[in-house]
Every structure is written in structure tokens, then in C-alpha cells.
Amino acid sequence: MTSLADQLSGPSDPGPDAGWQAQPRKGFFTDTTICIGCKACEVACKEWNGVPEDGLSLLGQSYDNTGGLGASTWRHVAFVEQPARSAGKQEAGLVREPVALGMPTLRDAGADDAAAPTTEREDFRWLMSSDVCKHCTHAACLDVCPTGSLFRTEFGTVVVQDDICNGCGYCVPACPYGVIERRTGPKGLKNVGIAQKCTLCYDRIGAGATPACAQACPTQSIQFGDVDELRERAAARVATLHEQGVTDARLYGADPQDGVGGAGAFFLLLDDPEVYGLPPDPVVTTRDLPAMAGRAGLAALALLAGAAASFLGRRR
């Protein structure tokens, strides 16, 4: 039998641990090296799940109009601009000279190209990534839910039942990624006050279909399938990139030994997780509950012993 400590941290197969019949765990592998930032995943997610619009204006930082995951943003495409030189340190073999595309300039007609002022423009690169709920092996949001609204599905994913959630919000600070959130908005808006997040399209995968975001992704940056097979595919992709000189390539969330027991949605990144807005070393926030309960029990015993000693001392 799995111990309480193992149920709260460490490698595990979450579906069977929740009482379901064993079957392959489902999840996402997002290869950010081929993400083009088209946001088809965001649109498909909203369309299929009826997620309300959350702002179309750019935030003033790159082409991002959503900023991060939230109750009405179940998919968020990050646009990160950074100097190309940081990539060139380890990818010297991949750095190419700029190519003249024949685009018009602001110089006067007939001006001598040789006499034209030259300005150095720092080369840069885009890092794009479609973020989503990680569907953790050990999901603290689920552990702290007092109503059972959050539950583990037979596919190993974590889903909110809208009609059971009472809006207490305990799950919000429990998430180490800051994913789940209670929806706010005007009266009449769908599920206002209810905790909301990605369901990994529970209804679609239950019918044998691919989640809407992965189905809409034109480059297959978002890949859906069995988590074990996706981990093998991701490791092979990283090995290929390393052979090509992209030594910054690394996996995030794929290790069953990490602080959440491995994520059901993991990523191939080209820089540190913080660059993409991801926590570098997330830990399930309920991991230390057994130790805390033990200390609380010892403290209670000490108080009882002290009270008993005081009572007996007075009787003498």
C-alpha cells in the first residue's frame, strides 16, 4: 500500500493511486523550439471550453495580450525577446549572418549606400511557449479542496467540477505554478467566483479525441499522448538538439523525481524556466503535511502531559 508520504510526493502513477483501473496516463509535451506564437491554441481552447474573452489589447511587452495563466486564460502563449548573443554562446554553429531581404529603407532616393550612416542593431531571438496547467502527479490543489470539486480523472489529469466548487479559493495558493484562479467579472459571466483551469479537454479525450489546443497547433509544438511515450519522445528531441549544437535545450517538468512527482504537461525549453515565467524548482505545497502533523501531535502530547503534571501536583 502506498504510504501517505508517497501519496504527497515522489514518483507515482496518479490514476491508479486515485482508485482508477490502470491505463496509460495522458498529457502534453510542448516543444517550444517549434512554437511560432500563432495563438491558435489559445483560440481553440476558448472556443471548445467556452472560456470568456480576457482582453485583446497588447500589454506593452512584446506581442503578449494575456500575461499569464488565469481563470479565463487556460492557455497562455509567452513571447520572450532576448539578445541573440546569449544564444550564440553555446550555439555558435547555428548563428547565421543576416540576410538582405530587399526591404525598403528610409534613406533618400539616390543616396550613396556607402555614405549612408550605419547603425548597429543588436540581433535578438524570440522564445515562444504555450503554457498550460501542469496536471501534477501530486496536485496540492486537489489535496486541499474541501468539497471534492477537484478530482483525479482516469487519465491522471486534474479537473474542476464547476457545479460542486464553492469558491473557497483554498486551491489558489496551493498551486506551486500559480495556475488555478477564481474567475472574476460581471454578474452573468460564466462561472464567476468558481475556480477555473485547463481540464486537458476531459470531454474530448474521453471520446478518444485530441485536446483542442493540440489539435489546432499547426507546428505540432503541442503534442498530446501517453505521458511515458511523450517523455521518451522529448528526451530523444533534446538529444537531437544537443547533437546539433543547441546545448541550452532542456526539459522542464518531465522528471518524476522533481518536487511535484513530474508533471502531466511538460516542456522543452531553450533557457532557464524563469525566462518563460515558470518557477525553477516547484514543490507540491502539501508535501510536508505528514511531518507537520507529527510535530503538531507531539506538541499536543506535551501540552497534555504538562496539564496532567500540574493537576496532579496541586492534589498533593
Mean pLDDT by 10 residues, the chain (316 residues): 59 85 94 95 96 85 87 94 62 52 54 57 85 96 95 96 96 96 90 96 97 97 97 97 95 94 96 95 82 78 87 75
In the block, cell 519522445 appears at: 233
Annotation-wise, does 171 bind a ligand?
yes
Domain locations in the chain as residue ranges: 12-81+124-309
pTM exceeds 0.85? no
DSSP helix/strand/coil, 285: coil
The residue type at 292: M
CATH architecture of 12-81+124-309: 2-Layer Sandwich (3.30)
Judge whether 188 is annotated as a binding position.
no
Residue 213 is labelled as binding a ligand = yes
Asked whether residue 217 is marked as a ligand-binding residue, the answer is yes
CA-wise closest residue to 41 among 131, 125, 127, 126? 131
Helix (H, G, I), strand (E, B) or coil at 29: strand
Residue 163, annotated as binding a ligand? no
- Partnered with residue 196 across adjacent β-strands are 181
Q: Is 117 annotated as a binding residue?
A: no
The reported pLDDT for the residue numbered 110 is 55
In this predicted structure, what is the pLDDT of residue 126?
A: 87
Cell triple for residue 281?
A: 524548482
Instruction: Determine whether the annotation assigns residue 101 to a binding site.
Output: no
Beta carbons within 8 Å of 167's beta carbon, 6+ residues apart = 182, 193, 194, 195
Q: Partners of 113 in the beta sheet?
A: none
63 assigned binding-site residue: no
SS3 at position 184: coil
Strands of 62-187, DSSP E: 76-83, 124-131, 150-152, 158-160, 181-182
Helices (H), ranges, 12-88: 14-17, 40-49, 84-88
Check whether 116 is labelled as a binding-site residue: no
| DSSP tag of 117 | -
User: Rg of the chain over CA atoms, in angstroms?
Assistant: 25
Q: Cβ(218)–Cβ(38) under 8 Å?
A: yes
Task: Find out whether 198 is annotated in a ligand binding site.
Answer: yes
Is 298 among the annotated ligand-binding positions?
Answer: no
Q: Does 118 show up as a binding residue in the annotation?
A: no
Is 133 known as a binding-site position? yes
- Residue 275 assigned as binding residue: no
296 labeled part of a ligand binding site: no
Instruction: Tell me if 16 is assigned to a ligand binding site.
Output: no
pLDDT, residue 111, reads: 56
